[in-house]
Amino acid sequence: MRENVIKEKLQKIFYECDKHIVRIESASKKMSFFMPLIEDKYINLTEDEIAHIDQFLFRFSKLQDAMGQKLFRTTLLYLNEDIEGKPFIDILNIMEKLNLLKSTYIWRELRDDRNKLAHNYEDEPEEMSATINILFEKKELLIEIYLHIKSYLEDSFKSVGSNQKGMPQ
């Protein structure tokens, strides 16, 4: 019973993350016409271009949050890992140990890159341009991490029927 509840929760997380990816891809396709940014380009962005950037950054952040706050922990619960009271770095280490993350460093770097947005302000166009460029370049990495975990879990869902304990092999 518990397994089915967790599996349903994972399906909802997949739906949420997939929706963010569709929006990220749409925004990044529109952004590709004016990327990469430099200071002058950034200063002269049109309202539509700003809207595309805003959509991209919002969905990038939402996808990263959904993965870090929901997907990772729920994945480990599904896999019967003991995560009760563990700090996030331990969650990342377990994900890496299980080969669900290539490295905790990559995830932390993605997080640090995104956090630069909070410390850059509209009146710092050179730094904002650089940060947006970095996130734009790393969107595929973020999506790749998600798709790897999703694929692993979907494969394990299929194998549940062939396992006596009902857990992934």
Give per-residue pLDDT as tens, 49-101.
999 999 999 999 999 999 999 999 999 999 999 999 999 999 999 999 999 99
Q: Which residues of 69-92 are buried (b: 16+ CB within 10 A; e: fewer)?
A: ebbbbbbbbbbebebeeeeeeebb
Residue 168: what pLDDT? 37
pLDDT in tens, 95-139: 999 999 999 999 999 999 998 887 766 678 999 999 999 999 999
The tokens 């016409």 sit on which residue?
Answer: 33
Please check the confidence at residue 9 and state whether its pLDDT lies above 70.
yes
Q: Using CA atoms, how far apart are residues 146 and 93, in angstroms rounded to an integer? A: 16
Please check the confidence at residue 167 and state whether its pLDDT lies above 50.
no
Please check the confidence at residue 26 and state whether its pLDDT lies above 60.
yes
Q: What domains does the chain contain, in order, with CATH numbers? A: 2-162 (1.20.120)
Task: Answer for the pair 7, 157: CB distance below 8 angstroms, yes or no.
Answer: yes
